[in-house]
C-alpha cells in the first residue's frame, strides 16, 4: 500500500457502475421497494426523492466510514441511525425551504428515508469496512441505481396514468373521451400495485438480458 | 376433413426439424391438433391414456359457454331496443347484439392468441390451449360498451402478467379472464361500472343500472324470474342464469367442471345471504338470499370461473372449502362494500391465491390422520 491509489481506479469505478445494473439495489438486492412503490406516481417527486436519497446515502457513508474505527460494535446500529436521522432532517428542511410543493407530495416519505433499507444496508455492508472515498463512491453508485429504477417506473406510471412526463402533457387533449376522443388514462397505473408489477417487469427483462443473475437451482 | 389432412400433410415437412419454417413449428402444431387428435404417445413410464386431451376439454368448456353467449347477444339487442322504446322482432335484436359482441370476441382472441404464439416462439414451447377458454370468457364478462382497445390492453395484460410471467398456461395462479376483468375494473372504472355502460347506444333517460347497483342504492329490483331468465342489463354473458345452468349441465355431464365447486359456491353465497337476512340492518341486507345467486356475475363466476382446473383447489375436501368461501366472500363484498359491486370477481381471485394453501392443509391433514391410524395399530 505504498503507492497511492488513483481516485477513479477500475475498482472504484466498479463501485459506481455495478449498482446501476448487475448489483442494482432494487431489482437485484430487492431493497428499498416500499419507497419505489410510493413516490413513483409522477416523475418530479421521484426525481427529488432519488436526489435526496443520494445526498443522504453518500454523506452517511462518508461519516460512518470516518467514524468506523471509533464506533463501538455493540451500539453501531443506533449510531448509524442517529447519523441518518440527522441527514434526513437536514434534507427535509432544505426541501421544505426550496421545493415546498414537491416536499408536500412526498410527505412522510422523505422522513421515511431513515428506514430505507438501502441506506442501512450500505452502511453495514460497505461503509463500516472501507475508507471514506470508496464509501462515498459506493453511496453515489447505489443511490444512482435506486434512482434509475425509480425514474423508469415513474416514467411509465406517469405516462400511462396521467398522460404526462415531468408534468408536461404528452398525450393530446383531444384524444380523451371527455373531449370526444377514444383514450382514457389507466387508473391502475396510479395505484401502487401497478408499481410493483412495473418493477416486476423490469426485473423480468433485466434477468433475461443478464442470464448470470438467475439463481441456479 | 380429408382435404384438410392432405393440406396439412403437404405442409408438414417444412415445419419439422430442419425444415425452412421449423421455427414456426409450434404454430403448425397448434393448428394441426385443433383438427386432429395427435398421434404422439407417451414414451416412458406408467401412464393412463384417455381420449380427452386438454384441447378437447377446452372445446367442451367453450361449447358450454355458447348458450350464455347466444343469449347475451340477443339480450344486448333486447336491452337496446327497450331503452330507446322501440319494438323489434327476435332476429333484429339478435343481429344487433351479434354485431356488437363479435368485434369484442375477435379482439380478445386476436390479441390473446397472437401473444401466446409470440411467447411460444420466443420460449420454444408449444402453443398451449389455455387461451381457448379465456378468449371466450373475456368477451362474456365485459360490458357491451367497453371500448375495444381497452379489451385489447386488458387481454394483453392477462396473458403477459397473469399467465406468461408465471411460466405459461397451466402455471398461472389466477384465472386469466378474471385477471383481465380486474385490470379493466381498476384501470378504467368509469367504463366498467356505473349505469351507462351496460346497454349499447342507450337513450339517456333510461336507467341502465344492473340489479346489483339498484340493490346497493336501495331501489326496487326486477323480479326473480326476470333475473333468472336474464332480461336485465349486465355484462354480455352473465345475465341469464338459465343459459349458464345449461352450460353447467354440459360441464357436469362431461365431467369437465367440478360440481362440488359449483354447488359449494352456491351454498356459500346462500349462507352469507341468510346471515345478512338475520341482521337486516339495511335494505341491501334484507333482499332474499337466493337473489344473490341470480344477480350480477355470481352464477357465471361459479360455473365458469371458479371451476377453472388450473387455479382452483385440487383436493376433494379442498374444493368444498374453496367453493364455499368464494360464495361467502362474494356476497360479503357485495353487501358491505358498495364501491365494489362485483364481489364475485374479487372473491374468486382471492381464493385462487389461497387454493394451494387450502390443498396443502387438506393433504397434510390426511397424512396426519392416516399416520395416527398406523400408530394405534402398532
- Among left, alpha and beta (phi > 0; psi -120 to 50; other), residue B67 is alpha
Q: Compute φ and ψ for B37, nearest 5 degrees.
A: -65, 130
In this predicted structure, what is the pLDDT of residue B202?
65
- Best residue in B167, B168, B187 for a mutation probing chain A (most A CBs within 10 Å): B187
Question: Any idea which of A76-80, B214-218, B333-337 has the lowest mean pLDDT?
Answer: B214-218
Distance from CA of B14 to the nearest CA of A (A): 30
CA-closest candidate to residue A91, choices A75, A74, A69, A114? A114
Is the CB of residue A145 less than 8 Å from the CB of residue A57? no
Is the CB of residue B291 less than 8 Å from the CB of residue B224? yes
Chain B interface includes A205 (CB < 8 A): no
In this predicted structure, what is the pLDDT of residue A86?
92
Is the CB of residue A158 less than 8 Å from the CB of residue A41? yes
A48 CB-side CA count, 13 A: 23
CA-closest candidate to residue A84, choices A105, A106, A53? A53
Collapsing DSSP to helix, strand or coil, B251 comes out as: helix
Counting one residue from chain A and one from chain B, the pairs whose CB atoms sit within 8 A come to 24
Collapsing DSSP to helix, strand or coil, A214 comes out as: coil
Q: What is the mean pLDDT of chain B?
A: 83
CA-closest candidate to residue A73, choices A121, A128, A135? A128
Chain B interface includes A202 (CB < 8 A): no
In this predicted structure, what is the pLDDT of residue B23?
63
Query: What CATH class has B54-203+210-360?
Result: mainly alpha
DSSP classification of residue B126: P
* pLDDT exceeds 90 at position A26: no
* pLDDT exceeds 90 at position B43: no
Chain A interface includes B165 (CB < 8 A): yes
In this predicted structure, what is the pLDDT of residue B351?
93
Which single residue is written with the C-alpha cell 420454444?
B124
- Rounded CA-CA distance B343/B348 in Å is 9
Chain A interface includes B191 (CB < 8 A): yes
Chain A interface includes B41 (CB < 8 A): no
Nearest residue of B to residue A189, measured between CA atoms: B187
Contact across the interface for A184 and B150, Cβ inside 8 Å: yes
Distance from CA of A149 to the nearest CA of B (A): 19
Is the CB of residue A62 less than 8 Å from the CB of residue A139? yes
Q: Angle at the Cα of B144 (from B142 to B146), degrees rounded to 5? A: 70
Provide the b/e sequence for B92-108 (b: ≥16 CB within 10 Å): ebbebbbebbeebbebb
DSSP classification of residue A164: E
Q: What is the mean pLDDT of residues B42-70?
A: 76
The 10s digit of each residue's pLDDT in A175-211 is 777 777 778 788 888 888 888 888 888 888 888 887 7
Chain B interface includes A186 (CB < 8 A): yes
**Of B307 and B46, the one with more pLDDT:** B307
Q: Which residues of A touch B188 (CB under 8 A)?
A: 184, 186-187
Confidence (pTM):
0.83
Contact across the interface for B191 and A184, Cβ inside 8 Å: yes
- Rounded CA-CA distance B186/B184 in Å is 6
Longest dimension (CA), chain B: 80
Residues 6+ apart with CB under 8 A from B252: B259, B262
- Where are chain B's structural domains? 54-203+210-360
In this predicted structure, what is the pLDDT of residue A2?
46
Chain A interface includes B13 (CB < 8 A): no
Beta bridge partners of B11: none
Q: Which residues of A touch B149 (CB under 8 A)?
A: 182
Cross-chain CB nearest to B186 (options A182, A191, A201): A191
Chain A interface includes B149 (CB < 8 A): yes
Amino acid at each position: 500500500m505504498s503507492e497511492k491509489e488513483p481516485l477513479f481506479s477500475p475498482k472504484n469505478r466498479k463501485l459506481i457502475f455495478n449498482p446501476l445494473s448487475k448489483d442494482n439495489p432494487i431489482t437485484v438486492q430487492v431493497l428499498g421497494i416500499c419507497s419505489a412503490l410510493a413516490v413513483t406516481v409522477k416523475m418530479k417527486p421521484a426525481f427529488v426523492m432519488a436526489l435526496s436519497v443520494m445526498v443522504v446515502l453518500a454523506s452517511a457513508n462518508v461519516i460512518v466510514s470516518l467514524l468506523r474505527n471509533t464506533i463501538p460494535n455493540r451500539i453501531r446500529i443506533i449510531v448509524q441511525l442517529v447519523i441518518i436521522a440527522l441527514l434526513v432532517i437536514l434534507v427535509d428542511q432544505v426541501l421544505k425551504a426550496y421545493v415546498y410543493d414537491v416536499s408536500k407530495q412526498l410527505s412522510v416519505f422523505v422522513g421515511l428515508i431513515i428506514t430505507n433499507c438501502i441506506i442501512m444496508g450500505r452502511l453495514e455492508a460497505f461503509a463500516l469496512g472501507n475508507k471514506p472515498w470508496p464509501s462515498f463512491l459506493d453511496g453515489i453508485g447505489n443511490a444512482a441505481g435506486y434512482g434509475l429504477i425509480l425514474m423508469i417506473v415513474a416514467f411509465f406510471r406517469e405516462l400511462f396514468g396521467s398522460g404526462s412526463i415531468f408534468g408536461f402533457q404528452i398525450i393530446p387533449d383531444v384524444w380523451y373521451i371527455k373531449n370526444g376522443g377514444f383514450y382514457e388514462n389507466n387508473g391502475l397505473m396510479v395505484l401502487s400495485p401497478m408499481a410493483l408489477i412495473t418493477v416486476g417487469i423490469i426485473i423480468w427483462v433485466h434477468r433475461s438480458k443478464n442470464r448470470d443473475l438467475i439463481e441456479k437451482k | 376433413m380429408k382435404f384438410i389432412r392432405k393440406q396439412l400433410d403437404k405442409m408438414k415437412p417444412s415445419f419439422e426439424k430442419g425444415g425452412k419454417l421449423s421455427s414456426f413449428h409450434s404454430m403448425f402444431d397448434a393448428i394441426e391438433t385443433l383438427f386432429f387428435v395427435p398421434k404422439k404417445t407417451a414414451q416412458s413410464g406408467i401412464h393412463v391414456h384417455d381420449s380427452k386431451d386438454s384441447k378437447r376439454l377446452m372445446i367442451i368448456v367453450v361449447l358450454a359457454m355458447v348458450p350464455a353467449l347466444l343469449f347475451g347477444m340477443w339480450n344486448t339487442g333486447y336491452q337496446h331496443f327497450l331503452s330507446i322504446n322501440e319494438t323489434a322482432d327476435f332476429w333484429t335484436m339478435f343481429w344487433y347484439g351479434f354485431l356488437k359482441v363479435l368485434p369484442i370476441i375477435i379482439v380478445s382472441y386476436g390479441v390473446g392468441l397472437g401473444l401466446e404464439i409470440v411467447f411460444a416462439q420466443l420460449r420454444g414451447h408449444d402453443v398451449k390451449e389455455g387461451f381457448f377458454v379465456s378468449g371466450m370468457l373475456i368477451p362474456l364478462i365485459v360490458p357491451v360498451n367497453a371500448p375495444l382497445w381497452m379489451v385489447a390492453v386488458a387481454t394483453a395484460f392477462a396473458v403477459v402478467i397473469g399467465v406468461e410471467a408465471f411460466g405459461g398456461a397451466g402455471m398461472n395462479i389466477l384465472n386469466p379472464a378474471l385477471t383481465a376483468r380486474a385490470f379493466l375494473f381498476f384501470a378504467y372504472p368509469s367504463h366498467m361500472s356505473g349505469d351507462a355502460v351496460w346497454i349499447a347506444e342507450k337513450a339517456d333517460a333510461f336507467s341502465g343500472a344492473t340489479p346489483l347497483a339498484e340493490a346497493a342504492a336501495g331501489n326496487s329490483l326486477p323480479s326473480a324470474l326476470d333475473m333468472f331468465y336474464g332480461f336485465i342489463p349486465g355484462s354480455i354473458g352473465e345475465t341469464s342464469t338459465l343459459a349458464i345452468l345449461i352450460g353447467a349441465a354440459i360441464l357436469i355431464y362431461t365431467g369437465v367442471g367440478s360440481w362440488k365447486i359449483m354447488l359449494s359456491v352456491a351454498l356459500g353465497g346462500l349462507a352469507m345471504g341468510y346471515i345478512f337476512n338475520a341482521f337486516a340492518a339495511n335494505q341491501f341486507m334484507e333482499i332474499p338470499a337466493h337473489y344473490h345467486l341470480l344477480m350480477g356475475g355470481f352464477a357465471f363466476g361459479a360455473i365458469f370461473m371458479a371451476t377453472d382446473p388450473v387455479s382452483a383447489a385440487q383436493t376433494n375436501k379442498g374444493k368444498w372449502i374453496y367453493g364455499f368461501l368464494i360464495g361467502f366472500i362474494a356476497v360479503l363484498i357485495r353487501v358491505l362494500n358498495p364501491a365494489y359491486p362485483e364481489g364475485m370477481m374479487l372473491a374468486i381471485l382471492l381464493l385462487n391465491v389461497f387454493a394451494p394453501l387450502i390443498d396443502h392443509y387438506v393433504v397434510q391433514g390426511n397424512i396426519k390422520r392416516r399416520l395416527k391410524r398406523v400408530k394405534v395399530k402398532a
